[in-house]
């Protein structure tokens, strides 16, 4: 049993950590304050090869699942908002194409992402969140085209995406069997961005409403076969859970590092607060939870590589534990900073806000517990 990263992964981790420290961290607070999407940073990341991670080599990709997890963790450590944009673009939004696209679709769209395109995964609707099968957005076939009508909400990268993978039903009475998956390009007539949410955290990346009003797309933009959309969506979400766990680990690591550093410098009652047992116990708990979250996440990533698909139970365990552990770690980090932790002078309040969504998107903590329980008991 080996708990060490291989040399290639260690070299990649060191490279991206250096990139994040020098390029991402100095900008993160400003991105959070202005809500501006960091287009220039995406371009830099693409130039150094970070937007090629995890894709098949034949389409210009590099690395493997664990490489993608390491990248997701480190980028999120620098900026939770940039981290989720990266994770959704390379992972959640592109999994439907990499897993179910034809050769032409893969060649076209993977190449665009490796060059720095941003992508969105448009599934959630007002009445379809955890209940994926309850879509209201409709599609109909019209000659060599499909026409889409409906709205999506809370779509990460929605306002910035160069193209989106989205889902609609031919007939709601068919349930999950009526759902199909499509690729829609930005600028397509009838496709527009609606309300952009004012969020608690991950500010640089939008959560937007997407409006499809008689949006006509070519038939070649169908992903897989008609009626396969439900399975395509669930497979993408399952695969993405591990990278959300990695995002939570990255944010938690940033909060932990800040708390340790501050505890060594801040003095109360004549000594550094790191010498006070109350602070020491908090830091110890944070260290234990961080290690446990990272090990669960890396295990799920390793199993994904071995099996060729995301392991349902282990991925859910990683996502559940890492996101909730990050909550506790960020909470303690604010406590260590005291009143300063509640101000924007220090980054821990941003980490606290950015972390919270990891317990919600790509399946809430409650849905993860349900998944784990079904795997344990064999029930459905």
Output the pTM of the full model. 0.96
Domain boundary among 75, 97, 114: 114
Same domain, 242 and 371: yes
Same domain, 123 and 166: yes
> 2 in a domain, yes or no?
no
Q: What is the rounded average pLDDT of the residues 287-311?
A: 93
Does 1 score more than 80 pLDDT? no
> 101 in a domain, yes or no?
yes
> 1 in a domain, yes or no?
no
pLDDT for the residue 182: 98
Does an H or E element contain 246, and which?
A: helix 229-265
Same domain, 108 and 210: no
pLDDT for the residue 88: 98
Instruction: Tell me which residues are annotated as active site.
Output: 362
Q: Return mean pLDDT, the chain.
A: 96
Domain boundary among 213, 228, 243: 228
Same domain, 325 and 367: yes
Does 129 score more than 90 pLDDT? no
pLDDT for the residue 240: 94
Q: What is the rounded average pLDDT of the residues 182-200?
A: 97
CATH classification at residue 259: 1.20.140.10
pLDDT for the residue 184: 98
Same domain, 243 and 373: yes
pLDDT band at 376 (very low <50, low <70, confident <90, very high): very high
Q: 361 in helix, strand or coil?
A: coil
CATH classification at residue 186: 2.40.110.10
Burial environment of residue 38 by CB neighbours within 10 A (0 to 12, 13 to 18, 19 or more): buried
User: What is 112-169 written as a DSSP string?
Assistant: HHHTT--EEEE--BTTBSS-TT----EEEEETTEEEEEEEEEEEETTTT-SEEEEEEE
pLDDT digits (tens, 9 = 90+) for 53-104: 999 999 999 989 999 999 999 999 999 999 999 999 999 999 999 999 999 9
pLDDT band at 124 (very low <50, low <70, confident <90, very high): very high
Q: What is the rounded average pLDDT of the residues 27-36?
A: 96
Same domain, 110 and 125: no
Tell me the residue range of the domain where 236 lies. 231-377
Q: What is the rounded average pLDDT of the residues 155-165?
A: 98
Which two tokens mark 30?
């400003």
């Amino acid at each position: 049993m080996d708990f060490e990263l291989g040399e290639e992964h260690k070299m990649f981790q060191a490279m991206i950590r250096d990139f994040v420290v020098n390029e991402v961290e100095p900008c993160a607070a400003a991105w959070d304050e202005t809500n501006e999407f960091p287009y220039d940073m995406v371009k830099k990341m693409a130039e150094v090869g970070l937007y090629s991670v995890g894709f098949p080599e034949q389409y210009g990709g590099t690395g493997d699942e664990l490489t993608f997890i390491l990248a997701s963790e480190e980028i999120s450590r620098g900026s939770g908002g940039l981290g989720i944009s990266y994770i959704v673009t390379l992972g959640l939004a592109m999994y439907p194409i990499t897993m179910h696209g034809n050769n032409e679709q893969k060649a076209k769209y993977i190449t665009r992402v490796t060059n720095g395109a941003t992508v969105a995964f448009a599934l959630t609707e007002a009445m379809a969140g955890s209940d994926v099968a309850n879509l209201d957005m409709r599609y109909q076939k019209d000659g060599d085209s499909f026409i889409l009508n409906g709205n999506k909400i809370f779509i990460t990268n929605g306002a910035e995406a160069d193209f989106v993978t989205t889902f609609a039903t031919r007939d709601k009475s068919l349930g999950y069997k009526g759902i199909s998956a499509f690729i829609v390009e930005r600028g397509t007539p009838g496709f527009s961005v609606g309300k952009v949410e004012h969020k608690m955290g991950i500010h640089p990346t939008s959560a937007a409403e997407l409006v499809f009003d008689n949006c006509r797309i070519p038939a070649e933009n169908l992903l897989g076969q008609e009626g396969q959309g439900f399975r395509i969506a669930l497979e993408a979400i399952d695969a993405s859970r591990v990278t959300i766990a990695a995002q939570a680990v990255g944010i938690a690591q940033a909060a932990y590092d800040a708390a340790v550093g501050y505890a060594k410098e801040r003095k109360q009652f004549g000594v550094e607060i790191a010498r006070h047992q109350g602070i020491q116990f908090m830091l110890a708990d944070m260290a234990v939870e961080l290690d446990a979250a990272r090990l669960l996440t890396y295990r799920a990533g390793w199993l994904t590589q071995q099996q060729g698909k995301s392991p349902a139970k282990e991925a859910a365990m990683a996502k559940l534990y890492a996101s909730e552990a990050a909550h506790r770690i960020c909470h303690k980090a604010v406590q260590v900073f005291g009143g300063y932790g509640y101000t924007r002078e220090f980054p821990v309040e941003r980490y606290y806000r950015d972390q919270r969504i990891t317990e919600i998107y790509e399946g809430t903590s409650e849905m993860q517990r349900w998944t784990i329980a079904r795997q344990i008991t064999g029930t459905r």
